[in-house]
Structure 1
Amino acid sequence: MSRNKESTEKVDVIVCGHISVDIIPRFISTQPSNSHLLPGTLVEVGEAEYCTGGAVSNTGIALHQLGANVSLIGKVSDDFFGSLTLKLLGDIDSSLAEGITQVAGETSSYTIVLNPPGIDRIFLHCPGTNDTFSEHDIAWDQVSGSRHFHFGYPPLMKSMYADGGDQLSNILRTAKAKGMSISLDMAMPGKGTAAFSADWIGILTKCLPYVDVFMPSLEEMLMMINRDQYEKYFQLGGDLCEVVPEETIQELADELLQMGCGMVILKLGASGLYMRSSQKLLLHSTNQLALNIREEWKNRELWAPCFRTNVIGTTGAGDCTIAGFIQGLLLQLGPAATMTGAVAVGAFSVEHLGATGGIQPWETVQNRIHSGWERLPIGRPLKGWYWREQEGIWAGPADKQSTNNH
């Protein structure tokens, strides 16, 4: 499925940012393994899955498999993991490796993903060349004419936060100036790292005015925007997305909108996907994609529940959910259909150990949605919300179209 030169010039989406190699051992036991992961303990596992990871790989490959024409931009070294990254991308489609910069003498990024049954994932991550990635690694002359620019995982890329977000904001501003609509994804930095203590309110205030669609997880945003609330809910144990009140989610989204982005999409794990958009959404973009969707997307508040599925692994599920959302935008679907498609692609992802191994073409995803695929309950009361049976989505109190349909 390699693209020829002519089709490469008509790229739909640029996916830029963090890329690595994921090493994912397959756990043999189906019993919760938290009591086994102790010092001095040997845990027998099955064969490991080797795949590219990070936002560039996960979101980019998922978009490719959904049917989008995508170009990937990232950075690796000339070492074993760097060469493996390029090979794994090339095995899927030779075009996917073309935009990845390979440099000499650095260390490529890799992640060991421990995904035992019954407990949350543990990541052993080497950021490598992601820390030295810069705006100079982007061949801007080759991406002109693309419809959408997505950047992922700046908290795992030192050069994107160490200067207070100047370089990241420059990248987003340049992409905007070239007529692309912009989406931005984040990542959770480890406690004790420089990224964890960075001034994320300042960085986001600087960057979000250039972002049309901001797509972080709830956990990431609480940690970055309201550290006290994050610590409070973290101490309660369990799934943070299930214990954070609905009002806190709404307040957080409103605060992010006030920082300047057009739309906030909060990933809530098994609780689904939350969307809040502003009145000014996408008005500052001259991109054809943005102009076609701006009116029906203004001032919306929606919550899409997940689909019921057999979960094998959750690594990269959020990235694949983002890919589904971007694909809906590219196809100029409405908010409800785009949100539903996003959580459906996320469900396809978790049915396999690796992030993108289960992603199917968009038509296959849609056929499964319309076959009566069961949705999971939200698991919390949504005061003042409306359930839209035909669309399979909740509409919130702030949604401008709620009263028109009920």
Structure 2
Amino acid sequence: MPSSERNCDFVLAGNINLDFIPAFIASPGAEDSWSATLVPGKLIEVGPAVLSTGGSVANTGLALRRLGHTASLFARIADDDHGRAIRDLLDRQAPGASDHLILSASGSTSYTIVMSPPGMDRLFLHGPGVNDQFTDADVPLAPLSGCKIFHFGYPPVMRRMYAEQGRELEALFRKAKGAGAVTSLDMSKPDPQSTSGKVDWRTILERVLPFTDLFLPSFEEILFMLRRECYEDLERTHGCGNAAKGQTLGIVRELAGEMIAYGCAVAGIKLGDQGFYLRTASDTSRLAPLKSKLGLDDAEWTGRELLSPCFETAVAGTTGAGDCTIAGFLAGLARGQSPRQALTSAVAVGACSTEHPDATSGIPPWESVQRRIDAGWPRIVTASPGFDWRRDEEFGLWVGSLDGGFGAA
């Protein structure tokens, strides 16, 4: 392996798939819902389909490359048309991006049909394919030893990573931590009717989070895993797939507190169009890897609580926006940004992603993102989250009372 690849900024591993994204010609009526739209025998006329790479490895990895970072991508594909399409699409966007993909001897490449009509939440039809075969052994030690940050995404759609109470996932994160990398973990929401939806995710997180520096799920994902009854109550109230409509900062804070208690140093919760919430451990020693590996100021990063509203955009699609938000956050850390700066960069990159139908083609170079922020890019106006939050006017963020010094750094 060339030294340039051993010493890359990021190693990305986990889920990859081929996305089919049909363009919907007309917005559904106000009375429409998925239950009324997906009716046997009904014909829905659509426009041309966008064919793109998808999944955590492709979305976050390509976004990081577009931001100007080096990133090695480790994921499984099969020797089939979909696998060859993934290789071609990756290398067209970033030459050499497919170099570390692992070719499975059997099985089929993962794919997702993404249905995203204007005015309705997205719906995904996902075939996990050979992602189910991914194991700890698929990520070699050498690149982990040379990178700054190791990021893994979507264990709920990778059977070997959640089987046996997450034994393979724990082994992989132990290995990455032992190699000296800052470790980062993203999730996807399990299908409640699948095997993944029936495993004990709390136990898996208890095993893995002590070796996880950055844990970055969405509200729905972590609510499903830690508060299943609450998740189901919100779905009954707001409709299937709409639990996020019932999210409150009280619940978000409680979830983040549990995540920190299980061992992660930084808990980030993606809140969709409501922004991105960040909480960091109050124990300075837990933040030590961020200081030693990334050169971050541990005083700035210890005991923080921030909420960042989204930036205004003309939304063309939201597929992969969460993955690109994570890319912006990780890039901010790798570049030594403060919590406020990194959180701002996160939602800015996520916003850029939504300006194109696919996940990553709208991501410009890092310097362009920062210039747009500095030029006064408007944020979506949000009311005060509560009496114990205050506005940081310089960054347009909200600072919570759990923050060390209530707004210091």
What TM-score does the superposition give when structure 1 sets the normalisation length?
0.95
Q: Is the 8 A contact 1:314 1:350 kept in 2?
A: yes
CA distance in 2, matches of 1:304, 1:76: 36
Match of 2:342 among 338, 341, 345: 338
Match of 2:274 among 267, 271, 275: 271
Detail structure 1 runs of 4+ shifted over 6 Å in the superposition: none
RMSD: 1.8
Residue identity in the other structure for 2:250: E
Figure out how many residues of one structure are paired with residues of the other and give that number: 402
Deviation (angstroms), 1:340: 0.5
Tell me the secondary structure at the aligned position of residue 196 of structure 2: coil
Deviation (angstroms), 1:385: 0.3
Q: Which residue does 1:353 correspond to in 2?
A: 357
Tell me the secondary structure at the aligned position of residue 358 of structure 1: coil
Q: Is the 8 A contact 1:181 1:287 kept in 2?
A: no
Q: Which residue does 2:238 correspond to in 1?
A: 237
Q: C-alpha deviations, 1:11-36, integer Å up to 9, x for none?
A: 00001100000010111113446344
Where do 5+ consecutive residues of structure 1 fail to align? none
Residue identity in the other structure for 1:313: G
CA distance in 2, matches of 1:262, 1:152: 18
Deviation (angstroms), 1:286: 8.0
Q: Which residue does 1:135 correspond to in 2?
A: 136
Residue identity in the other structure for 1:196: G
Deviation (angstroms), 1:403: 5.5
Q: Is the 8 A contact 1:277 1:297 kept in 2?
A: yes
Q: Which residue does 1:27 correspond to in 2?
A: 24
Where do 5+ consecutive residues of structure 2 fail to align? none
Tell me the secondary structure at the aligned position of residue 261 of structure 1: coil
Match of 1:312 among 310, 316, 323: 316
Q: Which residue does 1:16 correspond to in 2?
A: 13
Q: C-alpha deviations, 1:336-375, integer Å up to 9, x for none?
A: 0100010010100111100111011111111111111111
Match of 1:321 among 321, 325, 328: 325
1:5-404 alignment runs, 5 A limit: 5-32=2-29, 34=33, 35-237=36-238, 239-280=242-283, 282-283=286-287, 285=289, 288-379=292-383, 381-402=385-406, 404=408
Residue identity in the other structure for 1:401: G
CA distance in 2, matches of 1:173, 1:109: 27
Q: Is the 8 A contact 1:213 1:261 kept in 2?
A: yes
Residue identity in the other structure for 2:21: I
Tell me the secondary structure at the aligned position of residue 192 of structure 1: coil
Q: Is the 8 A contact 1:16 1:56 kept in 2?
A: yes
Residue identity in the other structure for 2:206: T
Q: Identity over aligned residues, as a percent?
A: 42
Higher mean alpha-carbon deviation, 282-291 vs 46-55, is at 282-291
CA distance in 2, matches of 1:167, 1:12: 24
CA distance in 2, matches of 1:28, 1:403: 46
Deviation (angstroms), 1:85: 1.1
Deviation (angstroms), 1:144: 2.4
1:213–1:286 CA distance, 2 compared to 1 (3 A): closer
